[in-house]
């Protein structure tokens, strides 16, 4: 026998969990964020100033305490720090050529967490998010629906989605609807 599930009609403006959804979509804490650009010869000095080894491998991250560096491109990183430390002041200590732009208020972080989180993000992100292709600690700039996001897998069932401030209502609503549709 084929098992059938009766779909229920939902109001388009109805948000949040209505079914047995196991995935939560919540706002991340405020954080300091820096868009960092530098050539390879500056990586060592910048790593020292930041207190973590800037990742040089595609799709990778480095974490030290509340601070994380996400590889975005061969000369580009997104640094996120949701602790009390002064990220910009630390970077200013590095006397090598680099560009550090404070984008703390440009981005909004959304946490997608729970069993099936991968499927929720895949509801709008075309990347292969299996653990083989996108393991814990992987991060990448990519797309979610019709917007660009930075995606970071912080745990097996937890993703951090960083999007631009003006896109955040779209991203948040999108992920909530996607979470509503996931049955684990």
Measure the CA–CA gap between 75 and 40, rounded to whole angstroms.
7
DSSP 13: T
In the chain, what are the helix, strand and coil shares in percent, each to the nearest 5?
A: 20, 35, 45
Minimum separation from the CB atom of position 128 to another protein (A):
8
Comparing CB distances to another protein, the nearer of 48 and 98 is: 98
Is residue 104 near another protein by the rule CB under 8 A? no
Site string for another protein, 7-46 (x = CB under 8 A): ----------------------------------------
Region class of 145: left (phi > 0), else alpha (psi between -120 and 50), else beta: left
**How far is the C-alpha of 52 from the C-alpha of 64, rounded, in Å?**
6
Taking CB under 8 A as the criterion, the residue among 72, 79, 87, 175 binding another protein is 72
Instruction: Give the binding-site size for another protein (rule: CB under 8 A).
Output: 13
Conformational region of residue 61, where left means phi above 0, alpha means psi within -120 to 50, and beta covers everything else: beta
Q: Which token pair is 117?
A: 């989180």
Distance in Å, CB of 140 to another protein, minimum: 7
Nearer to another protein, 19 or 58 (CB): 58
Interaction residues for another protein, span 125-184 (CB under 8 A): 126-127, 140-143, 148
Would you tell me which residues interact with another protein (CB under 8 A)? 58-59, 72-74, 76, 126-127, 140-143, 148
């Amino acid at each position: 026998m084929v098992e059938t599930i009766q779909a229920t009609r939902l109001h388009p403006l109805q948000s949040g969990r209505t079914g047995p959804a196991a995935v939560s979509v919540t706002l991340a804490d405020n954080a300091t964020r820096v868009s960092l650009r530098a050539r390879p010869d500056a990586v060592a000095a910048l790593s020292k100033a930041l207190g973590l080894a800037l990742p040089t491998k595609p799709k990778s991250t480095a974490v030290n305490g509340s601070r994380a560096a996400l590889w975005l491109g061969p000369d580009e990183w997104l640094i996120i720090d949701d602790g009390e430390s002064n990220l910009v002041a630390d970077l200013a200590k590095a006397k090598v050529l680099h560009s550090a732009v404070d984008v703390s208020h440009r981005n909004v972080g959304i946490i997608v967490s729970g069993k099936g989180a991968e499927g929720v993000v895949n509801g709008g992100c075309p990347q292969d998010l299996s653990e083989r292709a996108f393991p814990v600690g992987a991060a990448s700039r990519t797309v979610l629906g019709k917007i660009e996001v930075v995606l970071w897998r912080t745990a097996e069932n937890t993703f951090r989605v960083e999007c631009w401030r003006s896109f955040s209502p779209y991203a948040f609503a999108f992920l909530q609807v996607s979470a509503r549709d996931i049955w684990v």
